[in-house]
Amino acid sequence: MIDYGRMFRGLDGGESETPTAPATEQRRGLLRRLVDNLAKSRQALQQQIAAIAFDPAADDVFEALEEALLLADCGVPATVEIVRRLEQEAAAGGLRTTEDLTAALRRVVADLLAGAESRIDLTARPSVVLVVGVNGTGKTTTVGKLAEHVRRAGGTVVIGAADTFRAAAGEQLETWAGRAGADFVGSTSGQDPAAVAFDAVSAAEARGRDVAIIDTAGRLHTQSNLMAELGKVRRVIASRLEGAPHETLLVVDATTGQNGLQQARLFGAAVPLTGIALTKLDGTAKGGIAIAIAHELGLPIKLIGVGETLDDLRPFDAAEFAAALLGAPS
C-alpha cells in the first residue's frame, strides 16, 4: 500500500489505495511471485547478517563501512563525507551498538538528501512531467508506472510519445498507456519531438486532464546535438504552458556507476532537473550514485523503480534507502 501523500503533491485522491494489479501485468503468474518472495527473503536474511557485521566497537568498522559504501556506488567524495560524519559521531561517543550505527547512517544519508522536496509536484492543472535520461535506464517503463500511480491517486493522465527515434518506442509506450488507462498522444518516426510534446500538453489542457507525462528518447549526455534537441522540447513546453514543465525527472539506472554524476550534470545543463527517478533497485545494485548526485548537485530522489510491472514504483524514503545501502533489510 502506497501513501500517495508521500509520492505526490497536488492530487486530492492522495490517500492510500490498495493497488490491484490488472490481469495483463501478472505476466509471470502466482508461482513466479512466490519464488520471487522466497528469493527476496533469503536475500534479506543474508543482508541482515551482513548488516550485523558493522559493529562500532570493531577496529576496522569504518574501513568496512567505506567498503560497503564504495561497493554501493556512492563514489569516493560522498563516501568520504559520510564516513567523516559518522566518525565524528563516534568520537563524540554517540555510537555504541550496531543499531546506533545504522541509525546514524540513516540520519547522515537522509541529511545529505535533505531539504529538497521529494514529492512529485502536481499542483498545477495540468501539470507537465518531462522524463529524460540516457538509453535504456527505464524512462518509458517509469512513464507507464507513474501514469498508473497518478491514476490510483485520483488523477487523470495524458502520455506523450516524444521518443520519435528508437524503433518501436511508440508501440512500447502505447502499451503502457493502455495498461495505466491513460490517454496517449502518439507520433510518427522521425517527427520533431518538441511538436509531440506540444500536442500532448495541448491535449491535456483541452481534455481537462490533470497531468501530462512526456517520454523522450534515450540519449547520451555527451551528444550535444541531442541535448540541444531536449532543450528545445523543454522550451516549447514552457512556451505552450506557463510554469511547465513542472517536473523534469532524470531517470537513473541503479546499476550505473560514477558516470551517473556526469549524466546529471550534463542533462541538468540542458534542461533544469527537478529530481531523480532511480530504477532497477530490485536487483543487487544499491543505487549509491543517487547519493553522489544528491551530494554534489542537491538533486532529490523522487521515485524508486523496483520492477517491471505497474505496481513497481515507490515514493523515495531516505531512511529505508540508507539502510539498504549497507545491506540492512528495509
Partner 1 sequence: MFDSLADRLNSTLTDLRSRGRLSPEDVAAAMREIRLALLEADVNFKVVKSFVETVRERAVGDGVLGGLNPGQQVIKIVNEELTALMGTGAAKLRLKSSPSVILLAGLQGAGKTTACGKLAMLLAKQGRKPALVACDVYRPAAIDQLQTVGGQAGVPVFERGADVDPAEIAVWGVQQARQQGRDVVIVDTAGRLHVDAELMDELVRIRDAVKPDDTLLVLDAMTGQDAVNVAETFRERVDFSGILLTKLDGDARGGAALSVRAVTGVPIVYASVGEKLDQLEEFHPDRMASRILGMGDVLTLIERISENVDADRAAEMERKLQRSEFTLDDLLDQLRTIRKMGSLGGLAKMIPGLGKQLRGMDVDDRQLDRVEAIILSMTPQERRSPEIVNGTRRARIARGSGTSVQQINALLQQHRQMKKMMKGLAGGKMPGMPAIPGLPAAAGTAHKKRRKKR
Ligand X SMILES: Nc1nc2c(ncn2[C@@H]2O[C@H](COP(=O)(O)OP(=O)(O)OP(=O)(O)O)[C@@H](O)[C@H]2O)c(=O)[nH]1
Residues at the site binding Mg ion, with contacts judged by CB under 5 A = 139-140
CB of 136 to ligand X, least distance (A): 5
Ramachandran sector of residue 267 (left: φ over 0; alpha: ψ -120 to 50; beta: rest) = alpha
Grid coordinates of 147: 501514469
DSSP codes of every residue in 268-313:
HHHS---EEEEE-TTSS---THHHHHHHHH-PPEEEEE-SSSTT-E
Using alpha carbons, select from 206, 205, 203 the residue that is nearest to residue 184. 203
- CA 143 – CA 153 distance, rounded (Å): 15
| Interface with partner 1 in residues 72-111 (CB under 8 A) | 72-73, 75-76
Angle at 230 between CA 144 and CA 291, to 5 degrees: 65
Structural contact between residues 145 and 213, judged by C-beta atoms closer than 8 angstroms:
no
CB of 55 to ligand X, least distance (A): 33
Residue given cell 500538453 in the structure block? 201
- Does 228 sit near partner 1 (CB under 8 A)? no
> What is the pattern of x (binds partner 1, CB under 8 A) and - over residues 6-35?
---------------------xx---x--x
CB of 129 to partner 1, least distance (A): 20
Binding-site size for ligand X (CB under 6 A) equals 21
| Interface with ligand X in residues 227-286 (CB under 6 A) | 251, 279-280, 282
- Does 239 sit near partner 1 (CB under 8 A)? no
> What is the pattern of x (binds ligand X, CB under 6 A) and - over residues 115-144?
------------------x-xxxxxxx---
- CA 161 – CA 244 distance, rounded (Å): 17
Q: Which is nearer to ligand X, 118 or 279 (CB)?
A: 279
CB of 90 to ligand X, least distance (A): 35
- Does 258 sit near partner 1 (CB under 8 A)? yes
Residue given cell 568496512 in the structure block? 64
Contacting residues toward ligand X, per CB under 6 A: 133, 135-141, 163, 166, 169, 218, 251, 279-280, 282, 305-308, 312
